[in-house]
Amino acid sequence: MTGAGDKEVRIDKWLWAVRIFKTRSQATEACRKGRVKINDKEIKPGHNIRTSDVITVRKDNIDYTFRVIGIIAKRVSAPLAAENREDLTPPEELEKKKIIHSRSFVFRPKGLGRPTKKERRMLDRLRGEEL
């Protein structure tokens, strides 16, 4: 039973159930930190969502946008989860994800082991990730 007959469910539960976050506590924490918005308004983890709400989630420096199609309260398989949300994320945001992923790989010859602290700082500078 997926809970599809429910009219409303907490946002943190829904984000976890449709597999946007791996754990419910991660979804709750994102809501508390203001990284989740419903119709462009920051919300608390206990906020109830309804069908057709537009949810924006800031995760890994990328703004994902979803429309609620179905209300579920329990975690379901990935294909069922995809049926309960519509991905409205703009292509520019998805392009950011590709760029970030491609920049994270640095070739390191076999046998050198892990980088030292000094080498790590140099690698971060090369990638433009200075603190």
What is the CATH number for 60? 3.10.290.10
pLDDT at site 131: 45
The helix (H) or strand (E) run that includes residue 34 is none
Are 107 and 62 part of one and the same domain? no
Residue-wise pLDDT tens digits, 85-114: 999 999 998 888 777 666 666 677 788 888
Please tell me the total count of domains within the chain.
2
- Is residue 86 within a helix (H) or strand (E), and if so which, with residue range? strand 85-87
pLDDT of residue 80: 93
Query: What is the pTM for the complete model shown?
Result: 0.72
**Is residue 43 domain-shared with residue 106, that is, in the same domain?**
no
pLDDT given at position 57: 96
Per the structure, the complete domain to which residue 119 belongs is given by 90-131
Please list the helix, strand and coil fractions of the chain in percent, rounded to the nearest 5, in that order.
35, 20, 45
- Phi, psi angle pair for 9, to nearest 5°: -150, 155
Position 108 scores a pLDDT of 74
Q: Are residues 2 and 31 in the same domain?
A: yes
Amino acid letter for position 65: T
CB distance 3 to 9 below 8 Å: yes
Task: Determine the pLDDT at residue 14.
Answer: 96
Residues of the chain predicted below pLDDT 70? 1-6, 100-106, 127-131
